[in-house]
Chains A and B, each alone.
Chain A
Amino acid sequence: GAGVSQSPSNKVTEKGKDVELRCDPISGHTALYWYRQSLGQGLEFLIYFQGNSAPDKSGLPSDRFSAERTGGSVSTLTIQRTQQEDSAVYLCASSLSGSGGYGYTFGSGTRLTVV
Chain B
Amino acid sequence: DQQVKQNSPSLSVQEGRISILNCDYTNSMFDYFLWYKKYPAEGPTFLISISSIKDKNEDGRFTVFLNKSAKHLSLHIVPSQPGDSAVYFCAALDTGRRALTFGSGTRLQVQP
Q: Give the B-binding residues of A (Cβ under 8 A).
A: 4, 31, 33, 35, 41-45, 48, 50, 56, 58-59, 91, 93, 98-101, 103-109
Contact = CB atoms under 8 A, between A and B. Distances in A.
Contacts of A107: 43
Interface in B42-97: 42-46, 49, 89, 91, 93, 97
Interface residues of B, number: 24
A101 B43 CA distance: 19
Contact of B98 (A43, A98, A106, A109): A98
Max chain A Cβ within 10 angstroms of own Cβ: one of B91, B100, B102, B105: B100
A41 B103 CA distance: 9
A93 B43 contact: yes
Given A42-B4, A43-B102, A48-B98, 17 more contacts: A33-B100, A42-B6, A45-B102, A56-B98, A58-B97, A59-B99, A91-B43, A98-B98, A99-B98, A100-B100, A101-B32, A103-B49, A105-B46, A106-B45, A108-B42, A108-B43, A109-B43
Nearest to A42: B104
Contacts of A103: 34, 36, 46, 49
B38 to A, nearest CB: 8
Nearest to A4: B43
B37 to A, nearest CB: 11
